[in-house]
């Protein structure tokens, strides 16, 4: 801090200024997240509407920049880092929401507005392709002078392709203002422009807060799924993966018990079912029922009945395949009948 700044900070100030600083200190200390927002170019009425829209989620406090700087310095605790962004027409903003939610809300509240001569274009100003709705006249020349690909077609002035009439950073002149006004194009957004925000010991810039929420959520879900798979494959138990690990271990133990024919109550039913299936398969390979023990002959009869049902189904399928020829013959007969009727009438 320079000597002049030190003198200015420590000098005695009027009571009304100290009262204002005290109020600003209380404001800053009342919120978990505090930021600096630009309010330049926002009409007073629109600014009041924005403050009303933020009511309940964030609050805006305007004051002299020198007093804001003094209040930030008195609070300290890291929030004084915002001091370097107190320049131009700015205000304090406070919220108990996280900085990302605040940034998203401020961006969503911005509205399109016309641009004035002498202002710097915040982004490329584009006159879109299409019918302007303006009758043929001098305006086509104004469009062309502004840089638009404009022609008179079918009794109207049309822009034949999207035309960048001023790149971002260029200064808007009065002629372009007139053209944009005639077309109803509002190339800038008006709203609270977040400069920086301080929250939980961290200073955030707008670029750091401008994230795609859906993409961010998808990345987190993908990372969580990958971590869960790694934990399960590495047999690393956690609260989230313990149920899956237990289920996997249970299934593996059951497979081992079945393969080793372990007579455990948990797999006894499966072992009996497996043995029954093996016996039925063996019986099906024996052609002479008399060679089977009496208690297995019922199984053989069941197998024979199943074979007969299968043969019957195959025969039915073969008969179905032959039916089209008979249908064709009937069709020929119908055709002949039609000819006969024709001769009668």
Domain-embedded: residue 118:
no
Q: Which of 32, 88, 45, 97 has the alpha carbon at shortest distance from 64?
A: 88
Q: What is the pLDDT of residue 322?
A: 54
Q: What is the pLDDT of residue 305?
A: 60
Q: What is the pLDDT of residues 30-74, one digit of tens each?
A: 999 999 999 987 878 888 888 888 888 999 999 999 999 999 999
Q: What is the pLDDT of residues 285-337, one digit of tens each?
A: 776 666 667 666 666 666 566 555 665 666 666 665 555 544 444 444 444 44
Q: What is the pLDDT of residue 93?
A: 96
Q: Which of 89, 74, 113, 73 has the alpha carbon at shortest distance from 36?
A: 89
Q: What is the pLDDT of residue 311?
A: 58
Q: What is the pLDDT of residue 327?
A: 44
Based on the fold, state whether residues 160 and 63 are members of the same structural domain: no
Based on the fold, state whether residues 56 and 171 are members of the same structural domain: no
Q: What is the pLDDT of residues 184-225, one digit of tens each?
A: 999 988 889 999 999 999 999 999 998 888 888 899 999 999
Based on the fold, state whether residues 103 and 202 are members of the same structural domain: yes
The pTM of this model reads 0.54
Domain-embedded: residue 67:
yes
Q: What's the number of domains the chain is made of?
A: 2
Q: Which domain holds residue 101?
A: 3-110+191-211
Domain-embedded: residue 248:
no
- Interatomic CA distance for residues 21 and 28, integer angstroms: 10
SS3 assignment for the chain: CCHHHHHHHHCCCCHHHHHHHHHHHHHHHCCCEEEEEECCCCCHHHHHHHHHHHCCCEEEECCCHHHHHHHHHHHCCCHHHHHHHCCCCEEEEEECCCHHHHHHHHHHCCEEECCCCCCECCCCEEECCEECCCCCCCHHHHHHHHCCCEEEECCEEEECCCEEEECCCCECCHHHHHHHHHHCCCCEEECCEEEEEEECCEEECHHHHCCCHHHHHHHHHHHHHHHHHHHHHCCCCCCCCHHHHHHHHHHHHHHHHHHCCCCCCCCHHHHHHHHHHHHHHHHHCCCCHHHCCHHHHHHHHHHHHHHHHHHHHHHHHHHHHHHHHHHHHHHHHHHHHHHHHHHHC
Q: What is the pLDDT of residue 303?
A: 59
Taking a C-beta distance cutoff of 8 angstroms, is the pair 93, 35 a contact?
A: yes
Q: What is the pLDDT of residues 100-135, one digit of tens each?
A: 989 998 988 888 888 889 989 988 999 999 999 999
pLDDT at residue 273 greater than cutoff 70: yes
Q: What is the pLDDT of residue 326?
A: 47
Beta strands 193-199 and 150-153: pairing type? unpaired
Domain-embedded: residue 338:
no
Q: CATH number for the domain including 49? A: 3.30.70.1730
Among 158, 178, 211, the domain-final residue is 211
Average pLDDT over residues 139-152: 92
Q: How far lies 256's CA from each of 91, 162, 243, in Å?
A: 71, 70, 20
pLDDT at residue 183 greater than cutoff 90: yes
Q: What is the pLDDT of residues 82-91, one digit of tens each?
A: 999 999 999 9
Domain-embedded: residue 19:
yes
pLDDT at residue 3 greater than cutoff 90: no
Average pLDDT over residues 277-281: 76
Based on the fold, state whether residues 75 and 172 are members of the same structural domain: no
pLDDT at residue 141 greater than cutoff 90: yes
Taking a C-beta distance cutoff of 8 angstroms, is the pair 39, 62 a contact?
A: yes
Based on the fold, state whether residues 144 and 37 are members of the same structural domain: no
Average pLDDT over residues 129-148: 92
Based on the fold, state whether residues 84 and 204 are members of the same structural domain: yes
């Amino acid at each position: 801090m320079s000597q002049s700044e030190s003198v200015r900070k420590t000098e005695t100030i009027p009571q009304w200024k100290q009262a204002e600083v005290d109020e600003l200190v209380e404001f800053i200390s009342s919120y978990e997240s505090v930021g600096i927002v630009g309010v330049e170019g926002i009409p007073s009425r629109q600014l009041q509407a924005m403050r009303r829209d933020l009511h309940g989620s964030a609050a805006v406090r305007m004051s002299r920049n020198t007093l804001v700087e003094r209040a930030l310095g008195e609070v300290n605790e890291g929030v004084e880092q915002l001091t370097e962004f107190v320049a131009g027409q700015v205000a304090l903003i406070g919220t108990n929401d996280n900085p990302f939610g605040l940034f998203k809300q401020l961006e969503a509240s911005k509205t399109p507005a016309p641009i004035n001569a002498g202002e710097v274009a915040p982004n490329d100003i584009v006159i879109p392709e299409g019918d302007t709705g303006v009758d043929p006249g001098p305006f086509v020349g104004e469009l062309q002078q502004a840089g638009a690909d404009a022609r008179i077609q079918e009794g109207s002035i049309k822009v034949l392709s999207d035309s960048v009439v001023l790149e971002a950073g260029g200064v808007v002149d009065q002629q372009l203002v007139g053209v944009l006004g005639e077309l109803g194009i509002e190339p800038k957004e008006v709203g609270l422009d977040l400069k920086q925000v301080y929250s939980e010991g961290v200073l955030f810039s707008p670029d750091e807060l401008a994230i795609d929420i859906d993409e961010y959520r998808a990345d987190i879900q993908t990372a969580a799924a990958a971590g869960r798979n790694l934990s399960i494959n590495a047999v690393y138990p956690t609260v989230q993966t313990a149920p899956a690990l237990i289920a996997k271990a249970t299934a593996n133990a059951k497979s081992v018990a079945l393969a080793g024919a372990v007579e455990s109550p948990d797999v006894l039913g499966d072992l009996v079912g497996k043995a029954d299936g093996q016996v039925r398969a063996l019986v099906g390979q024996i052609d002479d029922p008399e060679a089977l023990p009496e208690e297995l002959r019922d199984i053989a009869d069941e197998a024979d009945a199943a074979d007969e049902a299968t043969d019957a189904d195959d025969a039915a399928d073969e008969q179905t395949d032959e039916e089209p020829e008979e249908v064709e013959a009937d069709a020929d007969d119908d055709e002949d009948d039609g000819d006969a009727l024709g001769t009668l009438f």
